[in-house]
Structure 1
Amino acid sequence: MEIVRHLAAYVAAAREGPLTAELREAACRSVLDLVTAAAAGIAAPGPRAARRVAPALMAGGALPIWFAGQGSGLAGAVWCNAAAAAALDLDDGHRIARGHPGAAIIPAALAAAQDVDATTEELLQAIVVGYEVGVAVGAARRFYANTGMWSGYGVVAAIGFLKRTPEEILAQAFAIAGIGAPNQLHAGAGPAFRAQEGSDVKEGIPWSGVTAVGALLLAEAGQTGPLRLLDDGEHFRLDGLVDGLGRQGYVARSYIKFHACCRHVHAPAEALLRLVAEHGIAPHGIDAIEVATYSGALRLANRPRPQGFTDIQFSIPYCLGLLACDGPDALMPLMETAVNRPEVVALAEKVSLSLDPELEARFPAETLSRVTIRAGGQSFISPVTAPRGEASDPPSWADLEAKLEQACRFVATPEQRRQLLAALRRLRAGEHAPLLDTLGTMRLSPA
């Protein structure tokens, strides 16, 4: 049986069993974190463009474009809300898939749940199922490609679960989504590809949601896809791709971000902040910053003079300059006022990056860095540092609420943040209607 048929059978079977308490809590935490990222990113350039274009490109509808007071059809809502969620690189990520499932899957699940009038438990289970399928496919590939190449599988799974799509149609939808996904190979890793630069396309995550919605609708209308798309041992590790579905609990194994930038920036950011705090190092006294790291971090563009707002998120030198100048809140959230600051550029140009064989051997299972700051004739060396929010040391619900308060303080009033947190707590208590209402009626704008 083709792998896409196995995926479809798993989605259908998942409707028969209740969620465990652990997975239910993990799904609620994922929603809290994703809504935080979307609210914080509502005014960024990428989401602004998506909201302007959606009425012309997508059919109209009443599903909410979050925090904007606009409505759209299913594809338009998924596109705009995923764009906001991915805009600041504050959304969750998954180590084994090397990408970002939540920004694609959760907007799709929330929109589809509203579209079909699903129960709260069905919504949360759809999120769990979407992560299980999307991460499984992402983790099975033998090559690196950005999230949009595989996240559509998770979107099809989540929406198909909620719509109770028959298995045969769901299998065709997976095949169509796989072949129609954004082609991300040009942005991949290795010597054949250029360094990854920042752009508002965001790994094709928002558009992968559109193609996945389209794939499901096309399959329902009778279109077929290449069912053996995933049955290719040259490109996918077939052993284990489907055997563990439903037992992996991928939704509970994501990492959480506490800086608005690519995950490869986080370990050096934490190491630098620790050194600055421990030794009282002033930015004007820094002579050099040396970052020992792994190959994934070196594949970023890492421009000391980023080419615009989003490119900052993919520059270790510039992010470290911002943190040295402005302190630990500089990237929580990232603001457009951070662009083209001379004092930050001056520090960024003092940053050097090098490959450390020991840290490379632990990548991609771990993303570690060591930072040396040279100042006033002295050298201050950090220990090998991991980023905050790893799945091995997950943040608490209170930590995630604090993240929302901090990340959204420039776009939401204290009362709006209180209302949003109250709605998210209601979801955790078993009632998702207040959250859908809040997402659709609350209007956010930068201060």
Structure 2
Amino acid sequence: MNTATNSTLWQIAQQARSMSGAHIPESVRQQARLCILDTIGCILAGSRTEEAQLVLACEPESGDQTATVFGASYRRGLRAAMRINGYLGDVLELNDLIGGHASIGNVSAALALGESLETSGARLLEAVVRGIEVTTRVYESVYPSLRRYTEAGLVPVGIPASFGSAVAAAHLLSLDEEKTLHAMAIAGSLAGWCPAEVIFGHGGSVKPMLFGAQPADAGVTAAQYAKAGMTGPVNLLDSKVGYFATASTDGSFDAAAWNNRWALEQPRRKLHACCGYLHSAADALGKLRLRTGAALQDSRVEVRVPTYVADVVSKDRLPDSPNDARFHLQYCLALVACGADVILPEHSIALADQLQRPEVLAAMQRITVLPDSGLTHYHQCSIAVTDASGQTKVQPGTAPRGSPQEPLGDSEVVAKFHALADPVLGRPRAELFAQQALSLEAVDNVHTWIALLRT
């Protein structure tokens, strides 16, 4: 069988298979533990939203009940549990930004499959490391030269995470290197294309399926197909009609650049419950509000962001749904101007109440968003605030809280988990779960550990 050893998929698969045992530094392992904990907190919080009832109603009991639905009293079949948990973890837009949104798909896939196989905590952790690292390698191959959403309409999250979830599943299923390669190729073939309109436009309530549920499902299904002998297009990334050419203008994978480099050592985590494209501007405006010592709802605010960011999150209308609110730059900045230090889940869940606040509506009218071609990363922005006297203050944004330049500490990630998980599990059980998550290699069978997430 031709393994296409010169293909990008093969190179990435080879790198992934080396990620085991002592080859994974403790710093990487710790960040992976935190990714698991953070993602589960997001899923638990999502289980208490109205959207949760939609996905639960569409995934009734059927077949073997082998995997836990987090925050619920029951289990579902493997694929149903992955889809439910993947959806719930993305509802509130609090899941991390490593490799796009690598953790939500990879963690949902690995935990459901690991539970059904009764795998060890050590093997589960290695699967998550492999999945997140592979996702990031694919994501970073296209992101620097990503086509504008107005040109391709393709958001680079679901497809990279599908490759990663396939690698995570392949590890848990003990697939050899050739079957791991084909699991990746099949996953990329099955992956959803993440249409930009669903995520940034009038996407309804289906959007959380795209970042977590679909990649998890595609990855595990692909690994099972590969285990049975199915093969896939091993040049799917670098073919002239492949993913790199479709999603970007100059996409390529530099294997040497990843020697001794780990994506997990530069985590991007979320403090704000909104799209990552909004975080830098929200933090920069918050700093200006602190500098002035007063709310800014009566000031004029000019926001400069990268052109591709302005294309999709600058909106000249009110948000029309909780999901739309999480991707609405003017709305989220108006909340900050009116005193919010952090965009909270309640700001979108209770959108109707927020839109009854006259100061929020007034602040939105005074915010102008300008595309700036000189800004190239979504963590870059510039905020200029002009008060009633005509005095202007400027605040650049380069590193929001949670970014690699301004990372959340371990204790802050754990505190975020408790803020999300305690209302669902209760503090004692949440503490026990977190303790075991942070020493995951000591867990002999993840089935017992995951059972703590049932209510």
TM-score range, shorter chain: 0.7 to 0.9
Residues 180-195 of structure 1 aligned to structure 2 (within 5 Å): 180-184=190-194, 186-187=195-196
Counterpart of 1:341 in structure 2 is: 355
- The answer on whether the counterparts of 1:152 and 1:209 sit within 8 Å (CA) in structure 2 is yes
- Structure 2 unmatched ranges of 5 or more: 148-153, 245-249
Aligned to 1:88: 92
Q: 1:152 Cα deviation (Å)?
A: 0.5
Whether 1:229 and 2:236 are equivalent positions in the alignment is yes
Instruction: Report the identity percentage.
Output: 22
Q: Secondary structure at the match of 2:181?
A: helix
- Cα deviation 1:382-429 (Å, max 9, x = unaligned): 4212311111332211111222344456x437xx13432332222223
Structure 2 distance, partners of 1:233, 1:243, is 22
How big is the alpha-carbon RMSD for the aligned residues of Structure 1 and Structure 2? 2.9
Matched, 1:396 2:409: yes
User: Which residues of 2 match residues 344-363 of structure 1 at below 5 A?
Assistant: 344-358=360-374, 360=375, 363=376
Q: Identify if the C-alpha distance between structure 1 residues 407 and 319 changes in structure 2 by more than 3 Å, giving closer, same or farther.
A: farther
Conserved? CA contact 2:19–2:130, under 8 Å: yes
- Displacement of 1:172 in angstroms is 1.9
Q: Work out which of the residue numbers 184, 208, 212 in structure 2 matches 1:202.
A: 208
| CA shift digits 1:322-373 (9 cap, x unpaired) | 2333522442554411236132233222211012344x1xx22x61222233
Aligned-pair distance for 1:164? 0.6
Does residue 31 of the first structure (1) align with residue 43 of the second (2)? no
Size of the alignment, in residue pairs? 427
Runs of 4+ in 1 over 6 A off after TM superposition: none
Code of the aligned partner of 1:73: G
**Distance across 2 between alignment mates of 1:438 and 1:296:** 42
Counterpart-to-counterpart distance in 2, 1:436 and 1:84: 20
Give the SS at the match of 1:139.
Answer: helix
1:417 to 410, 419, 427: 427
What is the CA-CA distance between 1:60 and the residue it aligns to? 4.0
- 8 A Cα contact 1:89 1:313, kept in partner: yes
Q: Aligned partners of 2:251 and 2:288: how far apart in 1?
A: 44
Separation in 1 of the partners of 2:240 and 2:254? Answer: 11
Note the C-alpha offset of 1:255: 0.6
Summarize the Cα distance change of 1:166–1:181 in structure 2 as closer, same or farther, 3 Å threshold: same
2:301 aligned with 1:297: no
Distance 1:246 1:34 in 2: 27
Q: What CA distance in whole angstroms lies between the structure 2 residues aligned with 1:93 and 1:243? A: 23
Distance apart, 1:436 and its partner CA = 5.6
DSSP 3-state at the match of 1:412: helix
Letter in 2 for 1:307: D
CA distance, structure 2, for counterparts of residue 197 and residue 350 of structure 1: 24
Alignment of 1:15-414 (within 5 A): 15=20, 17-55=22-60, 59-94=63-98, 97=99, 99-141=100-142, 143-144=146-147, 145-146=154-155, 147-184=157-194, 186-187=195-196, 196=201, 199-200=204-205, 201-202=207-208, 204-205=210-211, 206-232=213-239, 235-236=243-244, 240-243=253-256, 247-282=260-295, 286-303=298-315, 304-325=317-338, 327-331=340-344, 334-339=347-352, 341-342=355-356, 343=358, 344-358=360-374, 360=375, 363-364=376-377, 367-385=379-397, 386-408=399-421, 411-412=423-424
Distance, in Å, in 2 between the alignment partners of 1:315 and 1:163 is 41
Deviation at 1:24, TM superposition (A): 1.1
Give the TM-score of the pair, scaled to structure 1. Answer: 0.85
Q: Distance in 1 between matches of 2:221 and 2:443?
A: 26
SS in 2 for 1:392: coil
CA–CA distance in structure 2, aligned partners of residues 325 and 127 of structure 1: 40
My pick for the range that moved more, 152-161 or 434-443, is: 434-443
Letter in structure 2 aligned against 1:82: G
Q: Secondary structure at the match of 1:299?
A: helix
